[in-house]
Copies of this chain bind each other. A is one copy, B any other.
Amino acid sequence: MTSITALSRKLDNFGTLSDADHVTLDKAAQGGHQIGPKQDIIREGDKPNTVHLILEGFACRYKLLPDGSRQIVAYLIPGDFCDLHVFIMREMDHSIASLSPCTVVDIPRATILGLLEHPTIAQALRWATLVDEAILREWLVSMGRRPAEQRLAHLMCELLVRLRAVGLAQDGYELPVTQAELADTLGLSGVHVNRSLQSLRITGMIQLRGSSLLIPDVDALMEFSGFSPAYLHLLQQPLR
């Protein structure tokens, strides 16, 4: 395969991209600049005029509540767009921030419009949007019906599969996220995240040293958390 960038690799999972499409995508995703951790990339109310694409690092979508608490509603990993919808929506209804240090490209409007003229690329981008929506639905299932430990485990499984899909994980990965951020993601308190992580560690379902996550038995963790990769709509269920 000619895929170089995470974007190209990710969209390859839709299954219909030509070699020429890959080249086109890789060209559009060139460049980029570094930003530090915990920096806002876009803020609620903004109307950005370029499209932001994550090349390296973890970022998140989040919303702030009147009382100051925060809810993270998505994780963005390499290959994910921050605001592809900017051509349709008037303004951002949420903010986006880096979690780890990130490399981000600002892709001009015209470049995106150029991509959309390739029918297969346009379809693949729509597919990516629909997968984002499916992930939101699955997160809602987690929040509504899974207890804390399974919520954590399910998130780890999802990130494993998504990172594998862009070639960035095997049996583990770097999870550059503080426990407080996990709490804001899963609708829990920081203290409870800490205790749930310990429980997952003690039972041997995960190994977590610093931000290095290793999942010794992926099938076991998937079984435990009720994870089923169908909602990610990947071409092959990777290594399963």
Cβ-neighbour of A132 out of B127, B133, B186 (below 8 A) = B133
Query: Is A127 a contact partner of B88 (Cβ separation < 8 A)?
Result: yes
A24 within 8 A of B: no
Closest to A70 in B: B145
Within 8 A of B (CB), among A122-168: 123, 126-127, 129-130, 132-134, 136-141, 143-146
What is the minimal beta-carbon distance from A155 to any residue of chain B, in angstroms? 13
Q: How many angstroms between the C-alpha atoms of A61 and B140 in the bound complex?
A: 12
Q: How many angstroms between the C-alpha atoms of A134 and B74 in the bound complex?
A: 12
Query: Which residues of chain B are near A144, meaning CB under 8 Å?
Result: 71, 143, 184, 186-187
A17 within 8 A of B: no
Q: How many angstroms between the C-alpha atoms of A233 and B88 in the bound complex?
A: 10
Query: Which residues of chain B are near A70, meaning CB under 8 Å?
Result: 145
What is the minimal beta-carbon distance from A75 to any residue of chain B, in angstroms? 12
Cβ-neighbour of A137 out of B73, B88, B134 (below 8 A) = B73
Query: Is B93 a contact partner of A231 (Cβ separation < 8 A)?
Result: yes
- Protomer copies: 2
A230 within 8 A of B: yes
Tell me whether A73 and B140 are in contact in the complex, defined as CB-CB below 8 angstroms, given that A88-B130, A226-B66 are known contacts.
Answer: yes
A43 within 8 A of B: no
| Besides A88-B123, A129-B133, 6 new A-B residue pairs in contact (Cβ under 8 A), listed by A number | A65-B146, A65-B226, A85-B130, A91-B230, A136-B137, A139-B140
Q: Which residues of A contact B (CB under 8 A)?
A: 61, 63, 65-66, 69-71, 73-74, 85, 88-91, 93-94, 123, 126-127, 129-130, 132-134, 136-141, 143-146, 184, 186-187, 226, 230-231, 233
Can you list 21 A-B pairs, Cβ within 8 angstroms, ordered by A? A61-B137, A63-B137, A63-B141, A65-B145, A71-B144, A71-B145, A73-B137, A73-B140, A73-B141, A74-B137, A85-B130, A88-B127, A93-B137, A94-B231, A129-B130, A133-B136, A136-B136, A136-B137, A136-B140, A143-B144, A144-B187
